[in-house]
Amino acid sequence: MRLQKFLSAAGIASRRKSEELIKNGLVKVNGKIVTELGIKISPYDSIFYRGKQLKLQKHIYIMLNKPVGYVTTLHDEFNRPNILQLVKIPQRIFPVGRLDYNTSGLLLLTNDGELTYKLTHPKHNINKTYVAKIKGEIKKNECNQFENGLIIDGRKTAPAQIKIINSNKFYSVVQIKIHEGRNRQIRKMCAAINHSVIELKRTHIGKLKLDINSGCYRILTENEIDYLKSLEGEK
């Protein structure tokens, strides 16, 4: 097993973050600091992170209905409420992707770094579904622009899906599906067609549906875990 994969499996961080920890010299293998990526380890090796010996943990998978007003970053410079304050379990876990401070809805948390990588990397094309309340009446041509891709932060977004649920001259409610995970992507895409977001909620990851009240969490079922691990991406 590669060292960064072991770190993610041990619940330290996602695989990409584990690579950073290795590069920064925070990991020792058999008493020696290792900064080289891709090194393979055996069950007989002694692995330490920040002076603590690591062992593989049993994986845990949690669905959280994140409320507005919580951050998903584990360290916030403004000391705002953190999603881990809502999930009272002894295991070290981390969020699968992000939802911004003003966005609510489905968030997965786990100590399975491999699944985190799979669900968050753009190459896997995993659809995330949102319901957005936006200002103004959205037009068909604006939906077409949205679906064909928009320039945000200097580059074009991948094709997306948008479906009008309700619309009037004051506001519109739309369902949006994207598979990219760019920073504040839906808010920026809606702004690009001149409709600022009033409310935004994630309802699905793939076919996994949010089914708990705001601020609550639950352990995923075996069928749900198997489904997430089976995802190959959706067009």
Whole-number pLDDT of residue 135: 98
Question: Residue 66 domain-assigned?
Answer: yes
Q: Are residues 142 and 106 in the same domain?
A: no
6-33 pLDDT, tens digit per residue, is 887 787 887 788 899 999 999 999 999 9
- The tally of domains found in the chain comes to 3
Q: Which residue has the higher pLDDT, 42 or 140?
A: 140
Question: Residue 27 domain-assigned?
Answer: yes
Whether the pLDDT of residue 181 is over 60: the answer is yes
Q: Are residues 140 and 189 in the same domain?
A: yes
Record the pTM: 0.78
Question: Residue 235 domain-assigned?
Answer: no
126-151 pLDDT, tens digit per residue, is 999 999 999 999 999 999 999 999 99
SS (H, E, C) the chain: CEHHHHHHHCCCCCHHHHHHHHHCCCEEECCEECCCCCCECCCCCCEEECCEECCCCCCCEEEEEECCCCECCCCCCCCCCEHHHCCCCCCCCEECCCCCCCCEEEEEEECCHHHHHHHHCHHHCCCEEEEEEEECCCCHHHHHHHHHCCEECCEECCCCEEEEEEECCCEEEEEEEECCCCCCHHHHHHHHCCCCEEEEEEEEECCEECCCCCCCEEECCHHHHHHHHHCCCCC
203-225 pLDDT, tens digit per residue, is 999 999 999 999 999 999 999 99
Residue 152's domain spans which residues?
A: 127-205
Whole-number pLDDT of residue 4: 87
Q: Are residues 222 and 186 in the same domain?
A: no
Q: Are residues 215 and 175 in the same domain?
A: no
| Catalytic machinery residues | 100
Q: Are residues 66 and 170 in the same domain?
A: no
Q: Are residues 71 and 101 in the same domain?
A: yes
Whether the pLDDT of residue 235 is over 80: the answer is no
67-100 pLDDT, tens digit per residue, is 999 999 878 888 899 999 999 888 888 899 899 9
Grade residue 232 by pLDDT with cuts at 50, 70 and 90.
low
Q: Are residues 7 and 118 in the same domain?
A: no
Whether the pLDDT of residue 163 is over 60: the answer is yes
Q: Are residues 47 and 69 in the same domain?
A: no
- What CATH number does the domain containing 74 carry? 3.30.70.580
